[in-house]
Structures are given as C-alpha cells and as structure tokens.
Chains A and B, each alone.
Chain A
Amino acid sequence: MSVSDDIRRWSDELARSPASMVFLPLGEALRTRGQIDVALRVALRGLERHPYDADAHDLLARIYVDRGETERALDEWDAALRCTPGHAGALKGMGFVCFNQGRVVDAERYLAEAAAASPEDDGLGMALLRVREQIANANRTPPSANAAGANSAAPAPEPESEPAAASAPTPVTNGNGHGATNGNGAATNDVRAESAFAEGDAHFGDPRLLFADLIGVADQAALLLDEDGLVMAGQYVVSDGMDVGAEVGAALSGISDEARRAMRHLPLGDWRTIIFETPAATVVMTPAPQDGLVLVAAAPEVPSGLVRRALESVSQRAKRWMEQLS
C-alpha cells in the first residue's frame, strides 16, 4: 500500500472519527511528504481533542521545526515532557536543537536521556557519540575558548542550520536543573536573548547537522552538494565514525550530469530523482538550487520507500537553507 493510500485511508478514518488518534500517523506522513501546512492543521486539530497527548505535541514540534519555528517547537516539546516525563521524541528533538545551537552540554544531556528512554534507537547512540566527541574536543582547547564554546548559545563559528533549528531557548522541564522552563523567568529569557542573537546573525548551526533531525533513523545519511560535488551541508558517517561525505559526494555527483545529458535526448522532461541500490546502500538524489544536488543514503535494510520520503524532507530543508544563505 502506498503512502498516498495510507494518507487517504487515515484521512477517511479521521473524518469518520474526529477523536481518533490516527491524526498522528497522518500528520507525520503529511509532514514527511512535505505537506507541512496540511500536517500543521491536522496536528493542531488533533491537539484540540488530545491536549495531553505527548506524541501529539511531539508531532507538532517537528512540524514547527520544518517551518523554521524553533521556539514554538521547543514549547511543544516542553509540553510533551510535561505530559509524559522522559518522552524520548521530545528529548531527542531538544537535543538536536541544542546541538545545532552549539549548546553541546545541553545537547549531550538531552540525547543521553533520550537514548536511555529509547535504547533501540541506534541513531541516537551515534548522535550522542558525536556530541561527546565534540565536548571532548572542546575540553582540549584553551579554557577561554572552552568557556565560550561548550555551553553557551551559538559558539560563533557554528552557523545555525536552518530556520528550524535556529532560534529559541531550551525550555527544560525534566527537573535536571539546567536551563529553565518556559515562562519561568530570567534564565529562559536569557537563553532566548542569546538565541535571538544567533538568529539575527543570519547564520545557521553546524551545516553538518542540517539534516540530523530528519535522518533520525540509524544508518541514514544526507548530503547537500554544490555544482562541483563539494559538500555544503550534511554528513555521511560510516560505522567507524568517519565522515566520508566528501568522498561519496564527489563520486556520486557525476551521475546527475549523466542524467541531465540523457534527459536532453529523451522525451521525459527534466529529471527529478535518481534512485539506485547497491549491496551497501540505497541512494536517492534530487537536484538542489544552483545546480546542486541533495542525496540521502541508507543501509540496504532501510525500506526504499522510507528513503524516498526522507529525500523530500531533506530536499525542502536544503532549499530553505540555501535561500537563507543567499
């Protein structure tokens, strides 16, 4: 059954039973297909009926991230944690946002809690490993640099990845004494002020993590390549922890040239997507602005339909990010 069929079926079910929880998979499917506004309406309507459902707040938060409204997303994750303390999705989302803001200590804490709550999520383990590596690297730098970089908003050289992960405080709610809960006063406002500064700086977080929250499943990678096959954003981390994005990007970018050439001679119009499967990976790619290329790779065991859907989300974010850059 295709995703479109699922969406139709869930929509019908929701029409028949407006109180149904089917708005959760429906909203998520719409979100990953890039129908963000429709997903938002579905999620908001669902929340009206289920205001204390943590998964509903989590869904809305991820939609807000896609819309570039990070502060609202953090508010929703905050609400999710109020409804269900230790909600893995909320902790994970907050961890990624913190990391994108350069607040690696906060990120480490959230991701560690998320990993503890969801030990089967290999992607979380990988993300946690990278955050801890970054903290270790920061600790090896001189104390003055470390103080600036380890836990304050936006260590300067780290441009914020996309509007999604751009602004906003960390409305911590899980009682660990770090940060502040929404609306709790000075600490929250301070963090928001720092975030606003980072956002106003017209930069984005670590470009390597631009797609981190979209590629949440283990064994997936996403890259944005420029017209020369150079990596602009994203990373391709293999099992030993190495980022081979540059090598993979350079090698694969030539395929799009070949596709473009082929399309000039075939009456099929412009190419939109290339998918290929190898023993090591399923790779999907699509054109990006300015003759760039977006690609998503996943381990062969990841369902190919899921990889294709991930490409849509990654592509949209890449476009928004490039628009912000330019």
Chain B
Amino acid sequence: MSSSSPFIPSLEHLTRQRGVLGSLVVSETDGIVIDAVVQPSVKAPVVAALAASLYRRARQSAHAAGLGGVRYLELVADGGRLCMAGRDDLVVVLVTDTRVGVGLLRVELLRTAAELPE
C-alpha cells in the first residue's frame, strides 16, 4: 500500500489499539481493499471481500426493515471480532482478537469513518 494514502495514518492509529490485528478501508460495492494496515496473519483481500459483503447485506436488510442505514456493524465470533463503520461506499473494517476493548474501538472506528471523504 502506498504510504502516501490519506487513510494510512488513521489505519495505523486503529491498528495500534490493543487486540487489533488489522484495519482496512474497503469498497462496499465490490469488496476490494482501498488501503490496509494488517498483521501478516490477516489476509486483507479475503477480509475485505467478506466484510464488505456482510456490511452490504446488513445495510440492505436494515433498510428493508425500515431502520435506515447502518453506521456501525460488529460481528463477534469465538476467536475475535470484525468491526465496521461506513460512509457512502467506503467501509472501515477492523479485525481483532478477543482481547479488544470494544467500547473504545467503536468510538475510534466511528470517528475514522466520519472522517472518510464523501
């Protein structure tokens, strides 16, 4: 990834949080990685595709249920979490292990998403 990307400082900040294995900015529409700062164990393209798909589905379902657009999504699994926050077509995705302090992370993620370019 280019170090000149405007997303890198935010992604690096997120990835420094305890328990965070990687952070990515992905395109919700096609699930490709826009930018990422991830540990070697994280397969960024796979995470991006699956996270984008899940976020898209949640957004469509929430819209169908009359709840409006999704601004934050968190999937908790036995071995960690996927946390996402989106703006327009861009979604910031975090991959974490189980040690994460999710309250702080949620706030940071929403802040990062709010700063994404429109």
Contact = CB atoms under 8 A, between A and B. Distances in A.
Given A252-B62, A259-B54, A275 B73 contact: yes
Given A255-B57, A266-B47, A266-B82, A275 B66 contact: no
A270 B64 CA distance: 26
A270 to B, nearest CB: 6
Name the prevailing secondary structure of the A interface residues.
Answer: mixed
Interface residues of A, number: 34
Nearest to A266: B50
**5 nearest A-B residue pairs (beta carbon):** A269-B78, A268-B77, A251-B65, A251-B64, A273-B76
Contacts of A248: 65-67
A278 B50 contact: no
Contact of A278 (B51, B71, B80, B81): B71
B88 interface: no
Contacts of B73: 274-277
A133 B47 CA distance: 49
A275 B83 CA distance: 9
A192 to B, nearest CB: 42
B79 interface: yes
B42 to A, nearest CB: 9
A179 B62 CA distance: 46
Nearest to A281: B67
Given A255-B57, A268-B77, 16 more contacts: A244-B66, A247-B65, A258-B53, A269-B78, A269-B79, A269-B80, A272-B77, A272-B78, A273-B75, A274-B74, A274-B75, A276-B72, A277-B71, A277-B73, A281-B67, A283-B67
A262 B18 CA distance: 24
A268 B50 contact: no
B100 interface: no
8 contacts: A244-B66, A247-B66, A258-B54, A258-B57, A270-B78, A274-B74, A275-B76, A278-B70
A268 B58 contact: no
B98 to A, nearest CB: 9
B76 A278 contact: no
A274 to B, nearest CB: 5
Contacts of B75: 259, 262, 271, 273-274
B36 to A, nearest CB: 15
A147 interface: no
Contacts of A51: none
Q: Which interface residue of A2, A251, A277 has the most chain B CB atoms within 10 A?
A: A277
Nearest to B81: A268
A268 B78 contact: yes
Contacts of A275: 72-74, 76
A276 B82 contact: no
Contacts of B77: 263, 266, 268-272
A262 B54 CA distance: 8
B54 A268 contact: no
A76 B30 CA distance: 58
A269 B80 CA distance: 8
Q: Which interface residue of A2, A252, A261 has the most chain B CB atoms within 10 A?
A: A252
Contacts of A252: 61-62, 65
Contact of B70 (A2, A277, A304): A277
B91 to A, nearest CB: 12
Contacts of A304: 106
A280 interface: yes
Given A271-B75, A272-B78, A254 B50 contact: no
